[in-house]
Amino acid sequence: MPHQLWSVLRRGGLVAALLALAGLLAVLRPAASAPPVIPGAAAVPMTALAQAAVAQATAASAPVVPSGCQTWTGGPPPIPGSVVSELSGVAVLPPCNAWAVGFSAGHGPDQVLIEHWDGTNWATQRGQNPGRAGNRLLAVSAVAVSDVWAVGRTGDGGDGGGDRGLIEHWNGTAWSVSPFTPPGRESELRGVAAVSARDVWAVGTFSDGHRDRALIEHWNGTRWAQVPVPGPVAASDASALSAVSATGRREAWAVGRTGGGRNGRTLALHWNGARWCLVPSPSPGTSNRLAAVAIVPGGGAWAVGQQSAGGTSQILILRWTGLRWLPMPSPEAGPAGPASASELLSVTATSPFSAWAVGDGMRHTASGAKDSTVILRWDGRSWKPVSSPQPGDGHDRVLAAVAAASAGDVWAVGSFEDHRARRLLVIHCC
C-alpha cells in the first residue's frame, strides 16, 4: 500500500495523494468507528483545503460530456379561441411520452390545459374544471402512461372564498379530480412527485387568513392525507413550498421559502422515510427563494431559484453534497452570452454529469432590453448557458419547467407574448 501511495503521488500530485491516503485510513479504521450519515442532520463544516480537494477531485473524475442539445425545436399549435395560454409543468416517460400542463383562457374563466405528446403529435386532453374561475394546473408527474398526476388550484370567482388546491389524475382513459381536503381559507398546490401508484407527494401553501403556511400532502394509494411540516417551519412568520422531488419511500426533497417580501429565506425539507426534517440551506441575498429541486441519480440533488439584493435579481443554484447544501457559481452571461438570467424556475438531472435548468432573464439588443428564455446546462464541471429559442415580440418570454428522459432527450415548456396574445412554448432537444 505505501508503494501504491507513492505511485499516486508521482502521477497525480498532492491532491490525489491526499485522497488516496484518506482511502487507506478508511480501510485501516474499524468499521464500527465510522459514524452514520443522517439525512437532514446538521453538517460538519469542511475546511477550505478539504473543499478544494473535493472540488478538484470531482472535476478530475467528471467525464467529458458531448455538448448536445444545442438545438431546441418543436411545439404544440395555439389553443383555438384562447387569448392567453401558458404551460407551467412537464413530465416525460421514455421512450415517447410527455405531458405538459397549464391553463388557457379566451374571454371567459381560466380552464385547465393538458397536452400529451405520443412520440409524433401533440394532442389536447380534456381535464376537469371544478371551479367557476381560476382553474390552473401548475405541475405534473408520471408513474406510467396510465398513471399521471397533476396539481394546481381552482376558484369560485370571488364567491365563497379564494382559490383552493386542485389535484387531477389520469388513469389511461380520462382525467378526474382526486378529492382531498385542503386546510385554511385558501390553498394552492405547486409541486408533485409520483414515485409509485401508492406513493405520491404534493406540496404548496395554504392561508389561514393571517399568513401563508407550507403544505404537504401524501397519497398512499387510497387517499390523500396532510403530513406535518417541521416545527420551526410551522412557527415561522410565513412559508411556502414550490416543488418536490422523490425517488423512493425514504428519499424526497421539498423546497420553497420562509419569510416574505424583502426578507425571504430559502427553505429545504428532507423526507427520511418517517418524517420531514428541516435542513439548513444558504440564503446569500437579502431576499431568497427556491423554485425547484431535482434528486440526482447516483446521489446528490440540485435546487434552483432566485436571490435579490439592492433591487437586482440573480439566479440561485444550490448543490446537495450528501452532507449540506452549497451555493454554486452563477453563470451570469455577459454581452456574448444568450441572456442575463434573473430567475431559474425548474431543474432536472439525469446523472451526476448531466443536468438542465430553465427560467427567464433579459436579453440586451440594439433596440433595448427584451425578456428572454434561459437554459443552463451542468456538464459535470460547471453550469453553462445554452442558446434557446426567443419567439414572439420580446415580451414575457419564460421557460417554466424542464424534464428529461435521458441526457439527450429533454423537454422544456413555458409561454411567450405575441401580438397581445400569450402563446404556448414547448421545445425539445433529442
Domain contains 60: no
* Helix axes of 48-61 and 2-28: crossing angle, nearest 10 degrees: 110
Domain contains 38: no
> By C-alpha distance, which of 331, 349, 339, 354 is closest to 399?
339
Task: Give the range among 51-60, 123-132, 185-194, 292-301 with minimum mean pLDDT.
Answer: 51-60
Question: Is residue 332 very low, low, confident or very high in pLDDT (cuts 50, 70, 90)?
Answer: low
Report in angstroms the alpha-carbon separations of 252 from 227, 256, 294. Answer: 13, 14, 9
Look at residue 151 and tell me whether its pLDDT is greater than 80: yes
Question: Is residue 157 very low, low, confident or very high in pLDDT (cuts 50, 70, 90)?
Answer: low
Report in angstroms the alpha-carbon separations of 93 from 118, 190, 197, 382, 427. Answer: 10, 21, 15, 27, 16
Q: Decide if 153 contacts 163 (C-beta within 8 A).
A: yes
Structure letter (DSSP) for residue 73: B
Look at residue 112 and tell me whether its pLDDT is greater than 50: yes
Look up the CATH number of the domain holding residue 325. Answer: 2.120.10.70
Domain contains 328: yes
Question: Is residue 84 very low, low, confident or very high in pLDDT (cuts 50, 70, 90)?
Answer: confident
Task: Give the range among 27-41, 161-175, 259-273, 396-410 with minimum mean pLDDT.
Answer: 27-41
Domain contains 54: no
Question: Is residue 227 very low, low, confident or very high in pLDDT (cuts 50, 70, 90)?
Answer: very high
Domain contains 4: no
Spatial distance between the Cα atoms of 397 and 415, rounded to a whole number of angstroms: 6
Domain contains 21: no
- Mean predicted confidence (pLDDT) in 391-402: 86
Task: Give the range among 22-26, 209-213, 284-288 with minimum mean pLDDT.
Answer: 22-26
Going 156 to 208 to 401 to 284, the CA torsion angle's sign is: positive
Question: Is residue 207 very low, low, confident or very high in pLDDT (cuts 50, 70, 90)?
Answer: very high
Domain contains 11: no
> By C-alpha distance, which of 181, 278, 265 is closest to 226?
181
Look at residue 257 and tell me whether its pLDDT is greater than 90: yes
Q: Decide if 374 contacts 360 (C-beta within 8 A).
A: yes
Task: Give the range among 11-20, 35-44, 193-202, 248-257 with minimum mean pLDDT.
Answer: 35-44
Residue 69 vs residue 28, higher pLDDT? 69
Looking at residue 340, its amino acid is: S
| The three cell numbers locating residue 383 | 453550469
What is the Rg, in whole angstroms, of the alpha carbon atoms belonging to the chain? 22
> By C-alpha distance, which of 291, 248, 289, 286 is closest to 270?
248
Q: Round the average pLDDT of the chain to a whole number and report it.
A: 81
- Mean predicted confidence (pLDDT) in 327-341: 61
Number of domains present in the structure of the chain: 1
Residue 97 vs residue 391, higher pLDDT? 97
Q: What is the pLDDT of residue 23?
A: 40
3-state helix, strand, coil in the chain (%, to 5): 10, 50, 35
Q: Identify the domain containing residue 93 by its residue range.
A: 84-429
Looking at residue 185, its amino acid is: R
Domain contains 200: yes
For the stretch 366-379, pLDDT in tens is 666 778 889 999 99
Question: Is residue 40 very low, low, confident or very high in pLDDT (cuts 50, 70, 90)?
Answer: very low
